Amino acid sequence: MASQECPRPASSPIVSTGVAGVSGWSGVTTDQMEGFRHTLMALAAGLIVLVASVYLLREFAGLIQQIVTAVFLTYLLNPIRQWLTDKGLPTWLAITVTLSGLGLTILMLAAVLQVGLADLSTKMPQYLGILNDKLQRWSESERLPGAIREGLAAMLADDRPLLERNLGLVRSALETGFKLVSNAVVVVIYLIFLMAESGGLRRRIDEAMTPERASETRRVLSEINQAVSGYLWVKTFVSAIVGVATTLTAHWYQLDDPLVWGMLAFFLNFVPYLGSLVAIVLPTMLALIKFDTTGPAIQIALILFVVHNVVGYVVEPILTGRRLDLSPSLVIISLGFWAWVWGPVGMVLAVPLMSVIKIIMQHMDATKGAATLMSN
């Protein structure tokens, strides 16, 4: 019987696809596959480190904030301490003089502010009486929406003293003030030890590292010092602009104690966003009480709104970006991130922290490209 040739079955699409897939990988060498695997492992490890870092930053926020604040103040005050040491003062005396000068400056500014606030407090009963009369008129005015008139009427119907009605707000303010004072005490303690240790830092770096590595480390620390000092100078400068503009505006509209409003605006400008809002609202409320019409209050609010926005969103990002060589977009993004991590304190420390991170990345071969992208 003649042998019959069996028909060869058609290739399955699945098998063909698999063969094609295998042939597609046939051009990849073992070294390339190993490099790809190492890249994936590095990305996974970096993601784990990032998540763990954010968790630790949020979990131990209080402790880390105090340490970071003390470190930045050390960078700012060390040049003064070093100058006094070079003049022949012992280290402990140079630290004492430096911290005493800082404390004396703060106390002098606080004293000027306290005098103005005391004057305002003596006029507070008069302000409250005028405010109550205006609220009464507004609650009866047909020009306001009914919901607003009802809210004003309910407010006026409350016969309790003002302090009692705002007891929760007063308690929150006292708790915040106590927390700030306690944190300031801890920061000062850290600052004393850091300044005492920083005197011998260069010697310890030279002893622990090779000459080349020690020189590179000292250069990085010097760049960080200049960056932090530069940022604080910019922040102080723009805060002074806001303070002067607020003082002139208050004086022009004949508000009581214009210097107080200027100093409050200066200090509040160090707290991004929230500080500017408070610095606008307070003099606007005084204008509402002082004047018979709402025109001056609206004008003051508009002027201060323009000043704060121009300084905060135009002048400060440009000056900060130039002095720290940071992209203005990165400055805004870092404010949002550190506000999420540490709240208002994080917003104050965001820019110097990003500057320190960028400087460190510039001196690492693996992150030089990323540091360049962060530049202005």
pLDDT in tens, 347-357: 778 878 887 88
- 118-132, 250-264, 307-321, 330-344 — which one is most confidently predicted on average? 250-264
Q: What is the model's pTM?
A: 0.63
pLDDT digits (tens, 9 = 90+) for 180-232: 667 778 888 888 888 877 767 777 777 777 878 878 887 887 777 777 777 77
Classify residue 366 by its DSSP letter: G
Q: Nearest 10 degrees: CA dihedral of 13, 15, 21, 24?
A: -100
Q: In this structure, what DSSP letter does residue 365 have? A: G
Q: Comparing C-alpha atoms, which of 220, 225, 226 is closest to residue 364?
A: 220
pLDDT one-digit tens code per residue, 79-107: 788 888 888 888 888 888 888 888 888 78
Helices marked H in 199-315: 201-208, 211-252, 258-268, 274-290, 295-310
Helix spans in 311-343 (H): 316-324, 328-342
**Spatial separation of the C-alpha atoms in residues 216 and 92, rounded to whole Å:** 29
Query: Domain limits of the chain?
Result: 61-199, 211-376
CA distance linking residue 306 with residue 312, whole number of Å: 10
